[in-house]
């Protein structure tokens, strides 16, 4: 684009208004949702709590859950600071749970799961906690960001060159 045109546009003081509007739109809370994720709450999970024999919780210990008749891990994770871990079984049978602090303490449990305890067995999940941002919103946000940053850089460069020309 012709630099004279940019100087003419920039000399009218309009870019400051647009930069302010772009900044407000970029930091508007509705745009700051988690991108492409959704959370739901539900009922029917199994909560286990691991403690040492002193009563102290096994905080942040490794957990490995294996489904019935399977050698592969169904779920792997860590306990929270209170020694709790939750999971939602999807089949009935005996589930194997191993909690290890990797310092010699190891808890092994077998949890029997009946048909009515399975995840989704007659349970209604609450609505989504966060909304999904659609592909179009992401595209518009990305393009706005690109054009906004480019506009700010060009505005700053022409303003800086005007200062040098006036000196």
pLDDT, tens digit, 9 for 90 and up, residues 32-42: 544 444 555 56
Residues 110/96, Cβ–Cβ less than 8 Å: yes
> How far is it between the farthest Cα atoms of the chain?
83
**Model-level pTM?**
0.49
Q: Rounded to an integer, what distance in angstroms lies between the CA atom of residue 8 and that of residue 4?
A: 6
| All residues at 6 or more sequence positions from 31 whose CB lies less than 8 Å from its CB, including other chains | 25, 141
pLDDT, tens digit, 9 for 90 and up, residues 113-141: 887 666 554 444 444 444 455 677 778 88
């Amino acid at each position: 684009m012709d630099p004279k045109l940019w100087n003419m546009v920039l000399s009218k003081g309009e870019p400051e208004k647009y930069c302010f509007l772009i900044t407000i739109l970029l930091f508007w809370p509705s745009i700051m949702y988690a991108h492409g994720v959704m959370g739901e709450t539900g009922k029917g999970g199994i909560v286990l709590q691991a403690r040492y024999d002193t009563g102290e919780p096994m905080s942040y210990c490794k957990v490995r859950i294996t489904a019935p008749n399977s050698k592969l891990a169904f779920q792997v994770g860590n306990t929270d600071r209170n020694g709790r871990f939750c999971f939602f079984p999807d089949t009935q049978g005996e589930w194997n749970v191993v909690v290890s602090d990797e310092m010699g303490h190891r808890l092994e449990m077998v949890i029997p799961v009946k048909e009515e305890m399975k995840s989704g067995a007659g349970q209604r999940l609450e609505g989504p906690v966060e909304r999904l941002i659609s592909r179009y919103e992401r595209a518009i946000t990305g393009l706005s960001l690109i054009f906004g940053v480019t506009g700010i850089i060009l505005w700053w460069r022409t303003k800086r060159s005007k200062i040098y020309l006036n000196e």
